[in-house]
Structure 1
Amino acid sequence: MKKIGRKLIHLLLLFLALNLSLAGLTRRAKASDDAFYNMKARAAYAIDAQTGQVLYQKNANKTYPIASLTKILTLAVIEQDIKDHRLSWDQKIKITPAVAKVANDWHFSNVQLNAGEQYSVRQLVESMMLVSADGSTEALALADAGSTVAFNRKMQAVARKAGVTDAKIYNMIGLPNGSLGKHRLKNVDKDTENEMSAKDLALVSRYVINKYPETLKITKKKFANFDVTAGQQYQMVNINALLPQNGYAPKDWEIDGLKTGNTDAAGKCIVTTGTYAGRRVILVALHTSGDWNNQSKMQKEFYEALAANYQPVELKKITDLPKGVQQARVVHAKKQRHVRLQLAEPQWIWLRKGENWSAAKPKFIPANNRQSVTGRLEAPLKKGQKVGQIELQIQGMPAMKVPVTSSQKVAVRSFWSR
């Protein structure tokens, strides 16, 4: 009987554990369903470019092939070297037979480049960003660094500056390695492609936009002429369907970038950016479902749903929030049990329309290095010292955290002196 009783208890515990696990999965699924928009894509990520507030995420940290979205990072390297006077916008680049072969291959996105002909850096950059010209991209990278390997190193360095540490970079274009012919990487499988996460691409895009404003002057152009030869001109039409007055331009938004991409492995990918009510948003979607029109339609719907349901509101001071988070309990202090908090700085936050800060359920979370063993804020504290974050649960969006500091000095009890 004792053995039977133990077995029944074990079965009961297993049953409870399974139910708790399923309940957790249900809650996680519901949390995903609660997002204000469902992007039908393998991965997606949207941020406020100025503050970094995450507005939407879906499989955002997992790396996937990114196709020609790679060219955003390629452009960052070129613009960095222009700024450092290693290149210039008017510098002419002579096209080699190997580059011309890629540029004139109908399988790829391109403008015509003739071997022996010279084209300016500006011409090649415009064709790379407006019509995703692969040959132009290769010409730029090789002129800049001399080889695919050397340019890859530059791309990795810029990615790290943007906060990306695990980018898998094999070439400047985003094509499978084998497609680069003479300039492919040796000892790397021919089908290998560049891989990054949706979050990483948002970080790189944010870095490029903030560091090199010239980027958006290029990507917002609807048309640009490309001089193939002295007597032959090709009009490039920007493939971004969300630009103003285009078919999928979102209402009340000013979209001015950024890049699309497509390979068999990556599927249809896109990064767009634009402004609304003075705020810039960056939206990344990898391997979207349907055709190009459907991809553009989803981007348009996302921007319009964001503006319809949320508005940017400035959180100016801690007293804008409920009294419960204007101060924090502090342990091991000499005289006081609480410390007054203050915002590290005012911050703009996308808040659901019709709701106030109380609806976001603000909660103070002490910094890891300021927590006691019980998880409380611990003395001593210096005035102005960062002591933690206020977490905000904004309906339909991922939780966000606002840094806070101590508004006063708090001495430690002598017993706890270190």
Structure 2
Amino acid sequence: MKKFTKKIGAMLMAGTIAISGLWMSPSLAQAADAPNVNASAAILIEESTGKILYSKDADKLLGIASMTKMMDEYILLEQIHDGKLKWDDKVKISEYAHKISQDTSLSNVPLRLGEEYTVQELYEAMAIYSANGAAIALSEKIAGSEGKFVEMMDKKAKELKLGEHKFVNSTGLNNEDLKGMEQVGTDKDENQMTARGMAKLAQHLMDDYPEVLKTASITKKDFRPGTSDRIAMSNWNWLLPGLIYGREGVDGLKTGTTDYAGMCLTATAKQNDMRVISVVLHANGGKGSGQHNSARFDETNKMLDYGFNNFKVQEVAEAGTAVKDPKTINVVKGKEDTVGLVTGENAKLVVPISTGDAKLDSKVSLKEKSIDAPVKKGTEVGTMTVALKNGDKLGYVDGTEALTIPVVTNANVEEAGFFSQSLSAIGGFFQGVGTYVSDGVKGWFN
């Protein structure tokens, strides 16, 4: 899923490594001072690596409001990809979904009781207009009931390792707004997650189902055009180009607003071949007129400016770059005693923009001290961590502190024949005897 292997496993052998001339020194400079983001929690990450560029109380559990629907989108798109659901499948509107959809004080498109809508129609209403009745109808279609869907949400959050979280409904509304029809928790409960968890969810959503951005970036679209139920939908993410706070490069992802959660936004933008993800929970700042509505966009802009003005993604080593210390691994019962080691993937780091050079801290760890023949070229035998020397301590969104890429063998090694293995065993025996005798003789003269 990710470009870089993050699992390390049980490592028995480690050492600081040096890399051959294929390594490139990344540019380095002290980044500008981090912004003062006026929010209860916030985070900014580079999308392809997960490198954290800014963090403020990112592990604090807070309300997420309609950003909940990003989890709905993930599960729905997974169902589509698995063939369990089709875009033109019909969804019959229940009393619950109908009743919520008629509340004009909430984000909604009105749905007719007992009428059928396509999955595509309801998905677009949910993703573009944050339609709550549509989200409920989709949850019932997928799981049979919203309560069962909440169980799916919880299971998926654990599978994606999103960290501490709480789901009570599919919409992100306070249960109190569900008109006594809530199925999980009390009427005062509301969905919660951390800023880090939201950033990880956004990263997974875009990596696994990149088509989500095609819908998330739609600024305006009619719901059921040409019918008496037509509703002009305008995206609540006003950072999208063409909207009130439009910014070039922004193409997602989801807003959220309740009294408990405050003004929230998970945004993503791409500029100069770098994509970032930002999360603001309970934005309580902003300036100028329309302060309440502009806060989440103002605070998000601070982070986007900081990220794009101060950082870039740079490749520091290509796949197949030789590593040293250890530069080889022992081969048991092979025609060769050792095989060389190289990087299994390209190594990319997020580095501050500058004109200077940076040194790298790198370490290789092998799973075992040796490998049995036959050995196939490209066999993964360990991992290598790479980080900027004296770099920041923010680490990566998944909790790791450095980039981790696989270390693999650089050649095939055939298994030695029976005769060669026998000679090797005999040689080893006599070598052991010689050592024993020699050690014994030395002992006599001590």
Given the two structures, how large is their TM-score scaled by the length of structure 2? 0.70
Alpha-carbon distance in structure 2 between the residues aligned to 1:298 and 1:83: 35
Q: 1:199 to 1:70 in 2, by over 3 A?
A: same
Report if the CA contact (8 A) 1:36-1:397 is conserved. no
Please give the alpha-carbon distance, in whole angstroms, between the structure 1 residues aligned to 2:60 and 2:380: 37
Partner of residue 66 from structure 2, selected from 65, 68, 77: 68
2:385 aligned partner: 389
- Structure 1 residue 220 displacement after superposition: 0.8
In structure 2, C-alpha distance between the alignment counterparts of 1:408 and 1:79, rounded to whole Å: 39
Number of residue pairs matched? 354
Q: What amino acid is aligned across from residue 282 of structure 2 in structure 1?
A: H
Distance 1:181 1:408, change over 3 A: same
2-side partners of 1:85 and 1:314: how far apart?
37
Residues 81-129 of structure 1: CA deviation (Å, up to 9, x unaligned): 2222332212222222322211111332112222233222111111111
Mean alpha-carbon deviation: is it higher for 205-214 or for 311-320?
311-320
Task: Say if 1:344 and 1:386, in contact at 8 Å, map to a contact too.
Answer: no
Query: Could you say which structure has the larger radius of gyration?
Result: 2
Which amino acid in 1 is paired with 2:386? I
Q: Secondary structure at the match of 1:137?
A: helix
> 2:47, 2:265 → 1: CA distance?
16
Q: In 2, Cα distance between the equivalents of 1:234 and 1:397?
A: 48
| Higher mean displacement: 237-246 or 220-229 | 220-229
Aligned counterparts, 1:363-374, within 5 A: 363-364=361-362
1:255 paired residue number? 250
The aligned residue for residue 350 of structure 2 is 350
Q: Identify if the C-alpha distance between structure 1 residues 318 and 115 changes in structure 2 by more than 3 Å, giving closer, same or farther.
A: closer
Question: Per-residue CA shift, 1:27-71, capped at 9, x if unaligned?
Answer: xxxxxx975323221111222222222222221122211111100
Q: For residues 77 and 39 of structure 1, what CA distance do their matches in structure 2 show?
A: 31
RMSD: 3.3
Q: Is the 8 A contact 2:218 2:235 kept in 1?
A: yes
Preserved CA contact (<8 Å) 2:41 2:280? yes
Please say if 1:209 is aligned against 2:210.
Answer: no
Alignment of 1:121-132 (within 5 A): 121-132=119-130
**3-state DSSP of counterpart to 1:256:** strand
Structure 1: gaps spanning 5 or more residues: 1-32, 321-325, 334-339, 371-378
Structure 2 unaligned residues grouped into runs of 5+: 1-30, 286-291, 331-339, 372-378, 396-400, 412-431, 433-446
Alignment of 1:5-404 (within 5 A): 36-181=34-179, 183-185=181-183, 188-227=185-224, 230-250=227-247, 253-290=248-285, 291-317=292-318, 343-358=343-358, 362-364=360-362, 380=369, 385-386=381-382, 388-392=384-388, 398-399=394-395, 400-403=401-404
**Deviation string, structure 1 residues 272-294 (Cα, Å, up to 9, x no partner):** 11212223211111111232212
Alpha-carbon distance in 2 for matches of 1:236, 1:90? 20
Closer, same or farther: CA 327–221 of 1 in aligned 2, 3 Å: same
Residue type at the aligned position of 1:346: N
Amino acid at match of 2:177: S
CA distance 1:319–1:126, change in 2 (3 Å):
closer
* Alpha-carbon displacement from aligned partner over 1:144-184 (angstroms, at most 9, x marks no partner): 21112210122123223322254311110111223223541
Greater RCO, CA 8 A, separation 6+? 2
1:207-258, Cα deviation, whole Å (9 max, x unpaired): 11121222111111111111288334111111111112334333xx411111
Identity of counterpart residues, as a percentage?
28
Conserved 8 A contact 1:168-1:196:
yes
Shift of 1:395: 6.0
The answer to whether the 8 Å contact 1:36/1:396 transfers is no
- Which stretch shifts more, 129-138 or 226-235? 226-235
Partner deviation per Cα, 1:316-373 (whole Å, 9 max, x = no partner)? 25999xxxxx75599xx9xxxxxx9864522332211114452xx5334565x88xxx
What amino acid sits opposite 1:74 in the alignment?
D
SS at match of 2:166: coil
**Counterpart amino acid of 1:152?**
V
More helix by share: 1
